[in-house]
Structure 1
Amino acid sequence: MSAGFQAPKGIPDYVPPVSAQFLAVRDELTRAARLAGYSHIELPVFEDTALFARGVGESTDVVSKEMYTFTDRGDRSVSLRPEGTAGVMRAVIQHGLDRGTLPVKLCYAGPFFRYERPQTGRYRQLQQVGVEAIGVDDPALDAEVIAIADEAYRRLGLTGYRLEITSLGDNSDRPQYRALLQEFLAGLDLDDATRRRAEINPLRVLDDKRPEMRAATADAPLMVDHLSEASREHFEAVLGHLRRLGVSYEVNPRLVRGLDYYTKTTFEFVHDGLGAQSGIGGGGRYDGLMAQLGGKAGLSGIGFGLGVDRTVLACEAEGVTPGDTARVDVFGVPMGAAAKDRLVVIAGELRAVGIRVDLAYGDRGLKGSMKAADRSGAAVALVLGDRELEAGQIEIKNLRTGDQHAADLDSVVAQVRQVLDTVSVDAGHLASQDL
């Protein structure tokens, strides 16, 4: 191991070729949201600590154990963002987005931070794509949010995942259920920390993964069995929309997400190929969060956070390779200083029409340059030497088939496009470009 600097513990580097898969996963997850009319929002990486304490919940592990919190030079307590919903709601309130057309539909992507014990799929810097639809309580909107995630996973080629869903009820039925659950938990022999959790938020006890706690709570009353008529109708409407959209699901009455703000529809996408860290994304409705953060009362919301890191791992587990691992489409091989000068210009012309191009730098020989062309993943090599330059031509080699032909330098862009059209290169980014 090198004695030099290392990445911080629990924070992965994404380097080629895996970085191409990372980008493809992130882009597909966000693309599905854009197709449904979700606009991009860019959030601060750190915020006032109180935002997360109030919005996420002080009793959650995220706030009580996992946040990176520090005092800045202005003696303010700030925290690296552990999740996205609270920050989005703060931005919506601050900028008055809730006073416009509802629902406010927003999409974001980036790193989030939790101080956890690092293991595969559980990182201290985790990458997520999230969406939030704020201001309308409509079961069809719940189904849309879930279907966006399902469509993204399917477009990536994943098949080995399942959607688990339940309802956590609303403010009219949760107090009665809370009292019922606390009465049940009072009869158990709980440790002090779990007892305190049961007093603050008893639902979180059902999320305890310890085998002894799973066994102890096996007969606990479940929220889905104690829904009010309105909550049950809402839940059944969501399931009906999912069926019509062709989204398969499993109702999991014990599903409890790790954040306090969830109400009604709550869901998680699970991939069994990932072992203990099987959740690849999830979310739910949070109808009281806006008012809790100082915004308008009565404005509801629903959203999700999809783990880019875990989706990459899910793709690996299924042998799916999303994205184009080739760095470039075309690789230029100059043989001499004058040829390099001309190829630099040609590379610029090709890039201007959306074609990815690299050159052999450092005055390598032909053999070394062609090896570099192969390693780049390019489909086409352009070979130019003094003899070709004098004749006003350039050699275009199809690296997939080995075919090679001379072309006029004045028509090289059109000739390259023609060759690229015949090979299995992801040239979709070229389709809308004009020569």
Structure 2
Amino acid sequence: MHTIMAAADEGRVAEALTAATPHVSVSPLAVWAQLALIGDAVGARSGEVAPATSDAAELVRGVLAHPHPACTVGATIWLPFRSVDDRQRLEMLADSLREQGHWAGPGMPRLEDLDAWTADHTGGAIGQFPVDLAPGLFHIPSDWETGGAEPDSTPGLVTAIAFQTGGHWPAPLEVVPAGELAAPWSISHALRVSGPECGLAWDTEVGLVGVAVNRSGNGMFTVSAIADPGCREAEVTGAATRITRRFAAGERVLLRGNELPVGDGGWWRVSDSPLYRGGLMEQQHNAALLPIWQSIDVHDLMAMGLGYWNVMQESMLPQLADAFDHAVAQHVSVLRFDNLGFGAAAVAAAGAVRGGWVSALYADHITEPVDLGPLPAFDGGGTLVELDFRHPFAAVVATASEHGGSFWQGLPLHVAWVVEADPQVPDTRPSGYLEDW
């Protein structure tokens, strides 16, 4: 099992985000790729972060060396020109990335060049490098602190991972009146998803999960997952990523026939219709009603409890040539979903700086339930499932087209907790807007 997927499976990323953020969107690929590469290069101990950086780094190196045709991924790392022995592994990382065609090497690029690199690798969705390394942003020591000498504001390291992907549905999703979704989401129209990859699944952590899968023609797919409103967002996000991995592996995920509870669960309805019983007709008419949504989010990675403090502050800084006060790390993600398709972009960036303020949260270890357990005994026999995504739900973007041994197979690119809908009617959007980042 991929260690990056394991990290996302427990919803740790979503759980660590501040509750004040109204719409959570984060990229496990961008967040963990940077952490894994730096952690492995500086020899961070496995006990400092879960998953172990040495294990995750192998997957990340494979992803960078063998890019997916539908997902543009870029990596960059820069260190000052002077070289010392204890930085050798960081410099080896820069050399290996440069040999693969990534932007890396000795010296410090200009901020405008970092902005241009970010825009280029996110399709223009993110136009600025998320870590502002301009000297004016950080605390400049006074004369008594420096003895009157001019302080050196050059960063000790700059690194980032960025990606962009997207896809169109084979046919536009049906736009229908919002119905039961109108009041909770404050929208007039919604999307209707139907077919055999729409229905109910079972997860040992949250119970019944409503699932709607949408596949694009380029090897990407999205999973929308909803559970009882009393479930915590991290629990639902974790269930969504586990279900996503099972879909990517080709497992049968959705409940059928006697496995289904017949009745009305509020956000789900299951009936037994003779018209849809048995054969190819069963599950073909399952349907889900979803809102149109989009998100743009910025997060402080040092304060998310994912291991950035352990790796960047405690393992990396002591290995740099000069003394730096602290590491900074930021993550920006953009994700949208509507009747035409989806678009996703993200960048995670970090730097070593002097002065300023730092916030930090130590990493927690992650455990993953591996036993799906027995299904509960429902008084069932349903043949038709209808879902209303009427309260907050999870969404995952992942790769589907690669073989089981590929680094890309089932890799979660984006995980989101959807709490706001886009009220704009899809017909008013300009054609080709998905490409107009």
TM-score in terms of structure 1 length: 0.21
Higher relative contact order (CA 8 A, sep 6+): 2
In terms of fraction of residues, the more strand-rich structure is 2
